[in-house]
């Protein structure tokens, strides 16, 4: 590997997915992993296998597919390294190994805090006990897997002298990558650069392993800190798409990569990323997590290359370099193109979906194609964004336990908004209910609640037009929480926003039900009497 | 002033408002300016008066009110400096002076590019011509106003030696603040820090004026660059709320301020900002510009202080310091509180609105109070966010030329979505139309279009639930463009999302019509035949 090459370690599926409400289904994680492989990331942290059987299964699926054959379009010949996170315990490390061992290039990533604050208040360990545990667990991980990464959590607030000792000991025990996290996003770039430089200088064996940076954005400095660490000698950057992650999130992949690309000569760094895929993967992750990308987001925001002020437009017309340091096409920020029309066949439809990162098959493909034909009849031009919305809606991410068969709504400025809903239950029977609400969506949700009878708290509700023009598809996203579980979310796309909202709600309830430990057949359920009115 | 004091210069109303689609009405600008004064910013750049008569009027209104008496709650005794932007021409400088002269502490800010790229490709000026023009115009501005700021545009890519000469010359001509912009967001923190240090060291007179930083976020480094410049001796930071601005936006006010507050001891810096108002002003600016704040936005994002992962929650419970470097209450990120119920009176309602930054009076207040009573009847708890939505909807930002009198809609999974709309026209007459669409919103918009007959392109459409639970208010935002004009936007709030969407659309059309140069009475208009069906 060239000395200036920076490995891009994407943790969207682990640290990103840890963000409140950003949870993805296994199918969504697999789709994002495929897109990350095509993008050219060197390492995919696919999850935290000890967290739950679902997490383990998702990591295994990614290791088996993306970790074996990354598919067409990947800039590198080798598949990405597939990494699983583990606390410093045998159980976690065993689970991580179960998760990643199916990959061609597996990695176990284990961590233990080194700051006195964490040792005293969270772990109740002395420095000596911490060191012994880290050494023992790194050696154990190494006995399973040739590629072991160790992270001293809260390194940014740890005593540097102690850090050097711990790191030297874990290198001896077999660690091949040392990741230095600024866990709480507290450091300034010069401090973080000095921390990395100090580690490389004072830790015996540090020059024989890869030093990695992992920065959080609590003070808006994650990208600057990552670059400072890389300039000080680190050669792996842990990042997430759109900067998702705990609290204010992680350093954003697209910003770190484009800073290196744009200022590579000054920084003396390069990456293996195909930057023209950045906008596409940003949209995929935004959709999968329901985290919006604001127009003023660097690199991938809708306005990152837009120029409204007359002065700037004038400059741009005279010479794009006056206000642009990157070209829109470098990051894939081209206008959505008309790709398919009403005469397009199923093969062309499936091919374009695959190019967009959606591998639909069988019934899901047929259903999406049917929806596409309906849309093409109503809408002059079907754009990529429409296709993505259809595919997101139709892909079988969770079992469709309940399905929306029929919805009819009356509403307006006067009168009582009323909705009649017919759902197909998990046994295939139709159940109908009508309800009155404060608006058409409230009425529909009340009718659905009366049928499904699963108490959830509605955390978030949003509707957006997917493409330009109001005759385009509307996409609804809802986030709900059942009891103390993790938030579930659902999408629905339709030209009718009330129908989209009802589809999204049913999808979110299906996600909650499919997570029930007793299995989907055992969910709480009470049939509504057909045509009964509730308020 | 203390040597470590950093003046916070907010340019949300100028550089922020320049972002595509972020345009605010004069009333919205005045509200944001009031909130900025309460927050404690030192300088408000209120606009670019030469851009249009509307821009000039907005700056004048802010100068007259906020620039004279900032109202209760401002940490400083003096009102903020009110600043207007001007190119280096007499016309622009005259307009800027007209805009700001009504303030107690007016400032004119003029700029001219110094990079060879801009001189050659945009301005067609030699270095000597540029210097002469800058000196002449700074002297002219100084003849009108004692406080003059000069910006060498694209300083980040200018020849430092030439920059020192230009800056020395404008100091002699009377400039009191020198603002150094990284116009295209290209520099790295160490480069930008070195640029500022070089200017202070090599420019005769630089120590007698204030050096300012103005950084853009194209590579995600705006905050880091701003801090690097301040550490090198700059003492004014030009920032925007939520980091809005051209392309990827400016350095974000909340991040720069909280980095200084959290790491003040290391940085040797302080500001006069009341940080407990940060979340509130973030919401106000987000609403006024329709730019969303993603959950993972540092400081003001919904998750900035949220901890979902079990490991982190465990740490937080044991000791908040393990994962928090700031407290939620420091930035005003407390839960929305139940403040008003159905028995609250108008005075309490108006008082709470004023605290939230909405000064409604007369009819607008009465109308909002009426809507509040209706809401309190339907909804168990009325929260701050509900009140803000009501106030945003009802405040008289644009003349209500057309008003939604009645809407009735039928839609669902089968049948043709149909909407019947009655609007009151500018002359007070009712006009009715029915239309069929692809969904209830499309049908409503088609019916409205048939009545108003103003061709617009729909750029963006979004609906969100304002507070938790679907029985809360839904708020719709639309952005439209008429011919080649700047984008207009409209809000609508209602418990019925179709009604909210229709209100928002009518509001956006009213904004377009109120901008027509020939005045609102002359807008294109064709009455629809009552009950006529169109598709």
Per DSSP, the residues of B124-147 read: ---HHHHHHHHHHHHHHHHHH-S-
Contacts of B258 in chain A (CB under 8 A): 219
Q: How many CA atoms lie within 13 A of A415 on its CB side?
A: 15
Percent of chain A past pLDDT 90, that is, above it, reads: 54
Query: How many CB atoms neighbour CB A352 within 10 A?
Result: 18
Contacts of B184 in chain A (CB under 8 A): 323-325
> Chain A interface, mutation test: which of B92, B240, B327, B438, most A Cβ atoms within 10 Å?
B438
Q: Which of B244, B322, B326 sits opposite A296 (nearest CB)?
A: B244
- Tell me the shortest Cα–Cα distance from B251 to chain A, in angstroms: 9
Contacts of A183 in chain B (CB under 8 A): 323
pLDDT of A511: 84
Supply A92's token pair.
Answer: 């976690």
Interface touch A294/B293, C-beta < 8 Å: yes
Return the DSSP state at A119: I
Q: Is the model's pLDDT at B466 over the cut of 70?
A: no
Q: Which of B326, B461, B465 sits opposite A464 (nearest CB)?
A: B461
Q: Which of A87, A294, A461 sits opposite B294 (nearest CB)?
A: A294
ipTM at complex level: 0.76
Contacts of residue B3, defined as CB under 8 A and 6 or more positions apart, other chains included, come to: none
Q: In 3-state terms, what secondary structure has residue A378?
A: helix
- pLDDT class of B366 with cuts at 50, 70, 90: confident
Average pLDDT score over residue span A72-99? 95
Q: Which of B122, B309, B468 sits opposite A322 (nearest CB)?
A: B122
- In DSSP terms, A216 is beta-bridged to A250
Return the higher-pLDDT residue of A3 and A361. Answer: A3
Supply B339's token pair.
Answer: 């403040």
Supply B482's token pair.
Answer: 């008429």
Q: Which of B20, B188, B463 sits opposite A306 (nearest CB)?
A: B20
- Tell me the shortest Cα–Cα distance from B71 to chain A, in angstroms: 30
B511 contacts B533 by C-beta, under 8 angstroms: no
Interface touch B18/A309, C-beta < 8 Å: yes
Q: Is the model's pLDDT at B18 over the cut of 70?
A: yes
Percent of chain B past pLDDT 90, that is, above it, reads: 54
pLDDT of A526: 35
Contacts of A379 in chain B (CB under 8 A): 438
pLDDT tens digits along A124-143: 999 999 999 999 999 999 99
Contacts of B501 in chain A (CB under 8 A): 497
- pLDDT class of A291 with cuts at 50, 70, 90: confident
Percent of chain A past pLDDT 70, that is, above it, reads: 86
pLDDT of B331: 84
- Tell me the shortest Cα–Cα distance from B318 to chain A, in angstroms: 6
Percent of chain B past pLDDT 70, that is, above it, reads: 85
Considering A345-349, A383-387, B243-247, the range whose residues carry the highest mean pLDDT is B243-247
d(CA A178, CA A171): 8
Q: Which of A310, A464, A494 sits opposite B462 (nearest CB)?
A: A464
The burial class, CB within 10 Å (0-12 / 13-18 / 19+), for B78 is: exposed
Return the DSSP state at A115: S
Q: Which of A304, A284, A285 is nearest to A294 (CA)?
A: A304
Interface touch A218/B295, C-beta < 8 Å: no
- Tell me the shortest Cα–Cα distance from A153 to chain B, in angstroms: 11
Q: For A99-108, A192-201, A391-400, B508-517, which range has the lowest pLDDT when averaged over its residues? A: A391-400
Contacts of B242 in chain A (CB under 8 A): 294, 296
Phi and psi at B277, nearest 5°, equal -100, 5
Q: Which of A255, A260, A259, A185 is nearest to A220 (CA)?
A: A185
Long-range CB contact pairs, B524-527, < 8 A, 24+: B524/B453, B524/B454, B525/B425, B525/B452, B525/B453, B525/B454, B526/B453, B527/B425, B527/B431, B527/B451
> Chain B interface, mutation test: which of A119, A190, A220, A468, most B Cβ atoms within 10 Å?
A220
> Chain B interface, mutation test: which of A218, A331, A422, most B Cβ atoms within 10 Å?
A218
Return the DSSP state at A243: G
- Given the structure tokens 């280096």, which residue do they identify? B88
Strands B210-215, B236-239: parallel, antiparallel or unpaired by DSSP?
parallel
Query: How many CB atoms neighbour CB B389 within 10 A?
Result: 27
Interface touch A186/B325, C-beta < 8 Å: yes
Strands B474-481, B488-494: parallel, antiparallel or unpaired by DSSP?
antiparallel
Q: Which of B379, B300, B163 is nearest to A439 (CA)?
A: B379
Query: How many CB atoms neighbour CB A372 within 10 A?
Result: 23
Mean residue pLDDT of chain B comes to: 85
Contacts of residue A148, defined as CB under 8 A and 6 or more positions apart, other chains included, come to: A107, A108, A109, A110, A138, A141, A142, A174, A175, A176, A177
- pLDDT class of A337 with cuts at 50, 70, 90: very low
- pLDDT class of B310 with cuts at 50, 70, 90: very low
Interface touch B223/A224, C-beta < 8 Å: yes
Torsion sign over Cα A60, A109, A23, A366? negative
Interface touch A263/B20, C-beta < 8 Å: no
pLDDT tens digits along B235-275: 999 999 999 998 899 999 999 999 999 999 899 999 999 99
Q: At what angle do helices A127-144 and A90-100 cross, to 10 degrees?
A: 30
Strands B43-47, B457-465: parallel, antiparallel or unpaired by DSSP?
unpaired
What value does the CA radius of gyration of chain A take, rounded to a whole number of Å?
A: 25
pLDDT of B315: 55
- Tell me the shortest Cα–Cα distance from B69 to chain A, in angstroms: 31
Interface touch B499/A312, C-beta < 8 Å: no
- In DSSP terms, B2 is beta-bridged to none
pLDDT tens digits along B206-226: 999 999 999 999 999 999 999
Interface touch A471/B437, C-beta < 8 Å: yes
Contacts of residue A324, defined as CB under 8 A and 6 or more positions apart, other chains included, come to: A305, A316, B184
């Amino acid at each position: 590997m060239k000395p200036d090459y920076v490995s891009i370690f994407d943790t969207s599926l682990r640290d990103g997915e840890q963000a409140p409400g950003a949870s993805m289904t296994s199918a969504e994680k697999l789709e994002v992993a495929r897109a990350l492989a095509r993008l050219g990331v060197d390492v995919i942290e696919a999850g935290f296998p000890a967290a739950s059987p679902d997490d383990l299964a998702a990591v295994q699926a990614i290791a088996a597919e993306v970790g074996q054959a990354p598919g067409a379009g990947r800039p590198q010949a080798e598949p990405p390294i597939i990494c699983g996170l583990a606390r410093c315990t045998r159980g976690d490390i065993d689970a991580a190994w179960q998760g990643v061992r199916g990959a061609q290039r597996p990695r176990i990533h284990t961590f233990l805090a080194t700051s006195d604050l964490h040792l005293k208040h969270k772990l109740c360990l002395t420095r000596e006990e911490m060191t012994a545990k880290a050494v023992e667990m790194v050696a154990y991980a190494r006995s399973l897997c040739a590629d072991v990464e160790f992270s001293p959590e809260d390194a940014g607030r740890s005593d540097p002298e102690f850090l050097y000792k711990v790191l030297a000991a874990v290198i001896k025990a077999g660690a091949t990558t040392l990741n230095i996290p600024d866990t709480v996003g507290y450091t300034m770039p010069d401090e973080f650069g000095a921390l990395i430089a100090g580690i490389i200088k004072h830790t015996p064996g540090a020059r024989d392993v890869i030093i990695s940076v992992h920065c959080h954005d609590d003070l808006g400095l994650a990208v600057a800190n990552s670059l400072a660490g890389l300039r000080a000698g680190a050669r792996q950057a842990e990042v997430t798409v759109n900067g998702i992650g705990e609290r204010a999130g992680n350093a954003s992949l697209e910003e770190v990569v484009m800073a290196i690309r744009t200022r590579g000569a000054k920084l003396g760094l390069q990456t293996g990323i195909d930057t023209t895929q950045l906008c596409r993967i940003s949209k995929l992750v935004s959709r999968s997590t329901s985290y919006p990308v604001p127009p003023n987001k660097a690199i991938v925001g809708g306005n990152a290359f837009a120029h409204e002020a007359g002065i700037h437009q004038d400059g741009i017309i005279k010479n794009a370099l006056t206000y642009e340091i990157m070209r829109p096409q470098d990051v894939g920020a081209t206008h959505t193109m008309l790709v398919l029309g009403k005469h397009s066949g199923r093969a062309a439809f499936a091919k374009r979906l695959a190019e967009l990162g959606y591998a639909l098959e069988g019934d899901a493909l047929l259903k999406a194609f049917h929806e596409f034909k309906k849309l093409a009849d109503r809408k002059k031009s079907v754009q990529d964004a429409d296709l993505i919305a259809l595919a997101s809606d139709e892909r079988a991410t969770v079992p469709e336990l309940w399905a929306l068969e029929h919805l009819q709504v009356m509403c307006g400025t006067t009168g009582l908004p009323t909705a009649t809903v017919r759902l197909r239950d998990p046994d295939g029977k139709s159940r109908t209910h009508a309800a009155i609400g404060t608006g058409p969506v409230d009425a529909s949700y009340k009718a659905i609640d009366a049928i499904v009878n699963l108490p959830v708290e509605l955390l978030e509700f949003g509707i957006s037009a997917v493409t330009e023009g109001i005759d385009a598809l509307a996409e609804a996203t809802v986030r709900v929480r059942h009891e103390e579980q993790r938030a579930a979310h659902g999408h629905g796309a339709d030209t009718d926003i009330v129908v989209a909202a009802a589809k999204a709600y049913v999808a979110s309830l299906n996600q909650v039900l499919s997570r029930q430990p007793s299995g989907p057949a055992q969910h709480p359920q009470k049939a509504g009497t057909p045509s009964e009115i509730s308020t």
